Amino acid sequence: MTHVPRRAVLLDRDGTINVETHYLSRPEQLTLLPGAAEGLRMMRDLGLALIVVTNQSGIARGYFTEEDLATVHARFRDILAKEGVAVDGIYHCPHGTDTDCACRKPKRGLVDQALTDIEFDPTRSFIIGDKAIDLELGRAVGAEPILVRTGYGADVEAKGDHGAAFVANTLAQAAAFIGGRLDRNKALKHS
């Protein structure tokens, strides 16, 4: 039998999982969005890897340090653990918008970093975010893009031409869509 790598959900952090806070730099600023923990649990129950990919240009701008970000991510993992959720990995780009790095979304560098640690197939996966760059990254790696209306998502939706396969109000609604998509694919495979 041929080994098929696991499916994953690539997730933006700010405005997608937690409340958008302009340059989130302190753990006490971190608040999960309504439906986020439920959605992540639903995705995990579907057998999907959960991988956070986030641009953090506040580091390059001097607003916070790598150590500050590590503290925020420790709190992020703690909050999720209390909700019964664990993520497989968190990958961030510390560079500014004026840097031509390989890791700043929508470039695929964060996904490539995740692939060195986690076995998954991006082309059988999903990406969820609240910005056009999240959806562009999804298309770049062959993942199915889902827009959430949280964070900046409602503005992105209003502009149109976002190319999302689905637009969700919450991560829970996105997870339900993914579950339906996987069920449909399974049914097609067995028909």
Q: Is 14 a catalytic residue?
A: yes
pTM of the full structure: 0.94
Annotated catalytic residue: which of 12, 68, 78, 88? Answer: 12
pLDDT given at position 41: 98
pLDDT band with cut points at 50, 70 and 90 for residue 161: confident
Q: Does domain 8-190 have CATH number 3.10.300.10?
A: no
Q: Is 121 a catalytic residue?
A: no
Spatial CA neighbour of 10 closest among 112, 93, 125, 98: 125
pLDDT band with cut points at 50, 70 and 90 for residue 2: low
Per-residue pLDDT tens for 173-187?
Answer: 999 999 999 987 666
Stated as kind and residue range, the H or E segment containing 144 is: strand 144-148
Annotated catalytic residue: which of 14, 98, 100, 117? Answer: 14
Name the residue with tokens 């890897």: 49
pLDDT band with cut points at 50, 70 and 90 for residue 168: very high
